[in-house]
Structure 1
Amino acid sequence: MHKSGTTWCPSIPLVCQDWANTEAAYCFFSNEWVNEADILCGHRGDARARNGDGGTDPRPP
């Protein structure tokens, strides 16, 4: 594992646990159509909804 500052950052193969998942992760990360903003968009909306900041929560009650 690599330690960056005070946060431990395990390697992708360690987190993925097997070769198929590791290969899929690398394929996902190398996809030019994938970007951080798109991935985090749903998470940010949920966080705003939980905090009462006007976001909409797509999950059923």
Structure 2
Amino acid sequence: MGKNDVNQIADNVRVVHAGCGVNALSGLQSRINSMYCSLLVGLISAAHQAILRLSSVSCP
């Protein structure tokens, strides 16, 4: 996995965070959508951390 791949994933994570924040602040989002959004952000965050750990391991 190259550095560009990691940067692209990081950009996608930021978009999800921003989207959820905007929806939550607007007051138009239902409770179920809010819970889904929180779960999605948590899963993406965990995946992002795993990818960053994998990218720091050097290949022989």
TM-score range, shorter chain: 0.3 to 0.5
Superposition TM-score, scaled by structure 2 size: 0.33
Larger radius of gyration: 1
Quick check: which one's strand share is greater? Answer: 1
Higher helix share: 2
TM value normalised by structure 1: 0.32
